[in-house]
Structure 1
Amino acid sequence: MQPTLLAEYLTPRVFHVSMSEGRTVRGYEIGPLDVPLVVGIHGTPSTGLGHIVNYAASGAFFCRLVTFDRQGYGGSTPTPGRKVHDIVPVVDAILDHLSVGSAAIYGHSGGGLLALATAALLPKRISKAACVVGNGPSFGPGGFDYTQGSSPLMCEEMIEARKGPEASRDCYKRIPARLNDPEFEKQVWSDNDIRIRRLLASLREKIEQELALPESPHSEEDAYVDDIQSWLAPLGFEFGSITVPTRIFHGSKDLMVAQHHSEWLQTQIPNASLKVFRHYGHHLSAFLPHVLEWLVSESLTMESSRQFIRCGGDKAY
């Protein structure tokens, strides 16, 4: 990697990808251009910008991070009634837009299932996949129950979802719409999550000001309802079909997604491993350097070997 000013590593770049039927996806990119690429998928409800903030705080400049606003969030066109597997054409189009053949991928929280779907359905373009504090499905065989072991509020979220979209809409007003309410946060965030969120608040504000993004024209509530209802529908792939190396990460203090979600997912994916971080909760920033290092470790090792050979390291003395 050629010497580059630190400021260039930390300056996010915004791009837009055209999709079918006049839809667009807003993406974000940060980090050096000559290092391995990782695609990040955000959770529910959120945007890709939060992952850019986490990267800037992590110091993980050994990789380049690309994230995006999922359908209906931030600056990306909604796709009403979308299913979990509908994320795959989005990732495919982003890699095409960046002229990248393949990349590693991770999904956080509600993005975890989406990363796994991409790994299953786009194996030639995905080198590794990680699911970070991701939820299991609420559909199909396998004996998994989304509501088992979660916090009472998260149990309520799925129980209401099973009643239909309008019940999910009412639930949004009671839970996700209040995630930033100081009087409500202790019901959904661990103490350490709250500390991290407050620590990163000024950095997020700075990046938002630098990017000067327009206010989203789309309804976060609608996007949330589409997300929750998609977990009740067929996923469009089988966990057992995932062939790329996969690792699942979880925080033992997570109040949003119970640890048994990750434990169950590990049993469904061939050769998947599970890493549990004690004392951490749901917030991604605590995990991000570990996730990124695992995702690109082989790529970095190969690049180091090539540099060693170019420098004459293949000579015998």
Structure 2
Amino acid sequence: MAAGQDVRLGDGRVLHVYDSGADATAALTLVWHHGSPQTGAPLPPVAEAAAARGIRLVSYARPGYGGSTPRHGRDVVSAADDVVAVADALGVGRFAAMGASGGGPHALAGAARHPDRVIGAVTLAGIAPYTEAFDWFDGMRSPEALRAARLGRAARARFAETEEFDPEQFLPVDLAALEGRWASLGADAGHAADLGPEGLIDDDVAFASPWGFELAEVAAPVLIVQGEGDRVVPRRHAAWLLAHLPNASLWMRLDDGHVSVLDTVPDAMDWLLARLG
């Protein structure tokens, strides 16, 4: 994976971008939407799986993360134009999107707003839009941050002043994953947290507010991957996504939690290649 580079947008903002490089033989270009919090730097298991399949992998830091200009008040759909601007700067035409956890909604946003560019999407342990049709917080081990986000950015920022990580969010299988194959994810999340809470605050407010698009607008094929035991984003969110996305499939992983479910990344890439490659 090439070193990061800055892409300057028309409004003057900068997005920090990573690109494995153009290749005329690439089977597919895949944009990775990182979780919350992360720096946007490509995670080795994702990069390795893409390289093994001849996939060009692009990732970028959302505003407020990893060197990208903050954009307070951003909604989820704002990522759609950002990612297309990144694609344009890299000379990428059509591409697929894959998002983990907080990246999931942003992967769907591009498919909703730019169906001519985003031709398929995968969301792994991705949160659903806020709704009162079911208890959106039910099953979350630590919902306090998102509850604060429902009250607005100022309330979420105040919560960040005393926020503490709750390891009970993770199943034993998640902790094992963070000690092994996905150790890079934990390290990157820690690095993102050290750089400050701005990106995470803005993510949470965006998740808990209207996203700026409807799931029904996502016509492209979508794969939803969910861990049955997930205590961060409960299984009910995946069921809601499945019921409201027009062209979605669900892989329910009975033994997985929020992190271990990422072991499906290679298989999810194969799913995209079978439909789009």
Q: TM-score range with shorter-chain normalisation?
A: 0.7 to 0.9
**Post-superposition shift, 1:60?**
5.3
The DSSP-based 3-state class of the residue aligned with 1:234 is coil
Structure 1 residues 145, 20: closer, same or farther in 2, change over 3 A? farther
2:10 is the counterpart of 1:20: yes
Alignment of 1:35-50 (within 5 A): 35=26, 36-49=28-41
**Post-superposition shift, 1:162?**
2.3
Aligned pair partner of 1:103 in 82, 95, 110: 95
Q: Could you say which residue in structure 2 is the equivalent of 1:74?
A: 66
Q: Could you say which residue in structure 2 is the equivalent of 1:171?
A: 159
- Retained in 2: the 8 A contact 1:45–1:220? no
Alignment of 1:89-238 (within 5 A): 89-139=81-131, 143-151=133-141, 153=142, 155-175=143-163, 178-179=164-165, 184-185=166-167, 187-200=168-181, 220-238=196-214
> Which structure has the highest helix share of the two?
1
Q: Which range moved further: 27-36 or 282-291?
A: 27-36
Query: TM-score, normalization: structure 1?
Result: 0.77
Structure 1 residues 262, 12: closer, same or farther in 2, change over 3 A? same
**Cα distance in 2 for residues equivalent to 1:173 and 1:192:** 30
**Cα distance in 1 for residues equivalent to 2:276 and 2:221:** 13
Q: Which range moved further: 276-285 or 166-175?
A: 166-175
- Retained in 1: the 8 A contact 2:120–2:276? no
- Retained in 1: the 8 A contact 2:7–2:89? yes
Q: How many residues align?
A: 270
2:45 is the counterpart of 1:54: yes
The DSSP-based 3-state class of the residue aligned with 1:22 is coil
Q: Could you say which residue in structure 1 is the equivalent of 2:244?
A: 268
Aligned pair partner of 2:262 in 285, 291, 306: 285
**Post-superposition shift, 1:26?**
0.8
Quick one: which amino acid aligns to residue 61 of structure 1?
A
- Retained in 2: the 8 A contact 1:105–1:295? no
Structure 1 residues 205, 267: closer, same or farther in 2, change over 3 A? closer
Structure 1 residues 60, 256: closer, same or farther in 2, change over 3 A? farther
Instruction: Deviation per CA, 1:183-202: give whole Å up to 9, x if none.
Output: x42x1222122112122477
- The structure number with the bigger radius of gyration is 1
- Retained in 2: the 8 A contact 1:84–1:113? yes
**Cα distance in 2 for residues equivalent to 1:269 and 1:149:** 22
- Retained in 1: the 8 A contact 2:111–2:118? yes
CA RMSD of aligned residues (A): 2.6
**Cα distance in 1 for residues equivalent to 2:93 and 2:256:** 34
Q: Which runs of 5+ in 2 are unaligned?
A: none
**Post-superposition shift, 1:161?**
2.1
The DSSP-based 3-state class of the residue aligned with 2:127 is coil
Q: Could you say which residue in structure 2 is the equivalent of 1:245?
A: 221
Quick one: which amino acid aligns to residue 149 of structure 1?
G
**Post-superposition shift, 1:231?**
2.2
**Cα distance in 2 for residues equivalent to 1:19 and 1:233:** 25
Structure 1 residues 201, 238: closer, same or farther in 2, change over 3 A? closer
- Retained in 2: the 8 A contact 1:29–1:52? no
Q: Could you say which residue in structure 2 is the equivalent of 1:313?
A: none
Structure 1 residues 250, 101: closer, same or farther in 2, change over 3 A? same
Query: TM-score, normalization: structure 2?
Result: 0.87
**Post-superposition shift, 1:247?**
1.3
The DSSP-based 3-state class of the residue aligned with 1:106 is strand
Quick one: which amino acid aligns to residue 11 of structure 2?
E
- Retained in 2: the 8 A contact 1:132–1:248? yes
What percentage of residue pairs aligned between the two structures are identical? 30
**Cα distance in 1 for residues equivalent to 2:37 and 2:273:** 27
